[in-house]
Structure formats: structure tokens, C-alpha cells
Amino acid sequence: SIPLGFFGGIGAASRSGILIKGSNYLEALNDVKVVVFDKTGTLTKGQFKVTGIYPSGGKSKDELLRTAAYAESHSNHPIAESIRTAYGEQISKEAISNYNEISGHGIEVTIEGKTVFAGNARLMEREGIAYEVPEQSGTVVHIAVDHQYEGYLVIADEVKEDSLQAIQRLKKLGIRKTVMLTGDASAVAEDVGKQLGVDEVHAELLPQHKVEAIEKLDRDKSPREKIIFVGDGINDTPVLARADVGIAMGGLGSDAAIEAADIVIMTDEPSKIAVAIGIAKRTRAIVW
């Protein structure tokens, strides 16, 4: 039977906007020593804004932005939303066919009969398309039409106000290591990691690399110590399942992430992880 104290702990957590799916997860929080975060939407707001448009090969800014918005018309990635917002005009969906979202890379799509690629440097390299190296820091979306490079857009996200506090509180609770994993570019990831004081940053990861990163962290620690992974995206589901305690940010999170998680934070505040660990410690003090 489950000791009564656990129900008290789960109830206290739920009143703080933290949904714990079983007393075993509340108990496991006591032994967490490593906390691994996804970047976009977890430590950052996940609300991107287009901050620069750099056409190439004689195209205008308007033309480049239009191509990008058409390419991103079917995507629900926060990058895509920011591009559609910057474009601001109606998109004729009948111009678009063969839409294909390539995980960790971007989009391949046919627009008005032309093959368009919109995505990161890795996508351009995969397609053998020579691209420009950006002047401005930020997340970059390169555009190519029929394998001709047409330029790039720079997109910026902001760190959540709550994230710095989240990292600091975890350290005070005796968390040995904080880690950030992201598919985004190294320069962007390093910048966010420095702002927040995250111990380890791993960037330019494909979804399966995130699972491998958790497995490596698992091997490098003592068996008693537990690992949390905190994420919000559809791509994060395998990582949520692999961690000892998978936590989904429910505010922005995808249904798949909420389903796969052991704990759901109903707000967008990563500091709630420290709140949950605090509740776990008080619950253990009562139960044992």
C-alpha cells in the first residue's frame, strides 16, 4: 500500500501546478543529481521573432520572406510561426504541395512547381547547396529554390525570466549538474547556457542524439543518482521516456510530450522543478 504521506505530497504538488503521475516519481525526485533541459520552449520562451532578412542572388527581402513563409506554411514549429508572422500576408495554400518536415533540419516542399528547402546549415550541407555564413547571431533559416541559394533569415528567441532562478534553485537543492540539449546552432546554445549558468551545453543534436546524450550521462554517474529530463516538444518524447523522471512543460508543450512525461508542469516555469524536488524532500521526511 502507498503511505498516506505520498498523497499529501502529490496534492501539494498539484496545488503548485505540478502534476505527478505516481508516487514512485515523487520518491525518485529525492535522488535526482542531474537535470537535463531542452532549450527551445523550456529554458527559452519559444516565441521567435525574425530579426534579419539577408537575400542573395538578386532576390529582394520581400521575395525571400515570401518564399520562407510559403515553405513554413504547414509547420507548427515556433520558427515557422515567426516567419509567417513577419510575412503577415495571406498564403495561397494551393501553391504548396509535397510538404515534408525533416526532423532537426527544416522543410522540403514544392511551391509553384519549384523544390524549396528551408532550414539550417545541416540541411544545406545534406543537399549540397553552398550557403552564406551569417553576420548576425541567432537561429538561421537558409532558403534554396531548385537547389539555388536565395539567402537566409535570422530568428531570435528570448530566455524566460524564470530560467535563471530555476538553475540557481536547483544548485541550492544539491543538484550536481545542469545540462542543456538542443538541436539549435552552437553559437545560440552557448549564449543561452552562459546567461543561465548551465554547466554543460550540447548543441546541433538530432532527436536520437538527445537520447544518446542522456544514456551517456547515465553511464557517467553512480547508479543511485537519478536524471531528470525536461522538455516540451514532439521530438522530446523518446528522451522523456528514457530519463529516470521525464518532465513536460504543459503550458506550451505538445500533447505527445505531456502523454510521455512522468510529471507535467502546468505553467511555463522551469523553477517548478525545484518546487517539486522541495516537496519530494518534505514528503520523504514525513513518510520515512
> Residues in the site for ligand ADP, rule: CB under 6 A?
38-40, 72, 75, 77, 79-80, 104-107, 118-120, 139, 141, 182-184, 233, 235
Q: Measured between alpha carbons, how far is 246 from 236 in angstroms, rounded to an integer?
A: 10
Q: Do 138 and 155 contact (CB within 8 A), yes or no?
A: yes
What are the grid coordinates assigned to 250, written together? 504543459
End-to-end Cα spacing for the chain = 14
Please identify which residue in 12, 18, 28, 40 interacts with Mg ion, judged by CB under 5 A: 40
For residue 43, the 8-state DSSP code is: I
Please say which residue, 101 or 225, places its beta carbon nearer to ligand ADP. 101
Residue 167 contact, options ligand ADP, Mg ion, none, Cβ 5-8 Å cut-off depending on partner type: none
Q: Do 236 and 206 contact (CB within 8 A), yes or no?
A: no
Nearest approach, Cβ of residue 182 and ligand ADP (Å): 4
* Residue 246 interacting with Mg ion (CB under 5 A): no
Please identify which residue in 9, 55, 138, 233 interacts with Mg ion, judged by CB under 5 A: 233
Nearest approach, Cβ of residue 124 and Mg ion (Å): 21
Nearest approach, Cβ of residue 38 and ligand ADP (Å): 6
Residue 242 contact, options ligand ADP, Mg ion, none, Cβ 5-8 Å cut-off depending on partner type: none
Nearest approach, Cβ of residue 28 and ligand ADP (Å): 25
Q: Which of 31, 38, 184, 232 is catalytic?
A: 38
Nearest approach, Cβ of residue 83 and ligand ADP (Å): 8
Residue 227 contact, options ligand ADP, Mg ion, none, Cβ 5-8 Å cut-off depending on partner type: none
Q: Measured between alpha carbons, how far is 266 from 276 in angstroms, rounded to an integer?
A: 12
Please say which residue, 170 or 252, places its beta carbon nearer to ligand ADP. 252
Q: Measured between alpha carbons, how far is 80 from 30 in angstroms, rounded to an integer?
A: 39
Ramachandran sector of residue 108 (left: φ over 0; alpha: ψ -120 to 50; beta: rest): beta
Please say which residue, 75 or 283, places its beta carbon nearer to ligand ADP. 75
Cα dihedral 114→120→124→130 (10° resolution): 110
CA–CA distance from 204 to each of 71, 86, 183, 263 (Å)? Answer: 22, 25, 4, 26
Instruction: Reply yes or no on whether 31 is catalytic.
Output: no
Q: Measured between alpha carbons, how far is 198 from 57 in angstroms, rounded to an integer?
A: 40
Which residues lie near Mg ion (CB under 5 A)? 40, 233
User: Which residues are catalytically annotated?
Assistant: 38
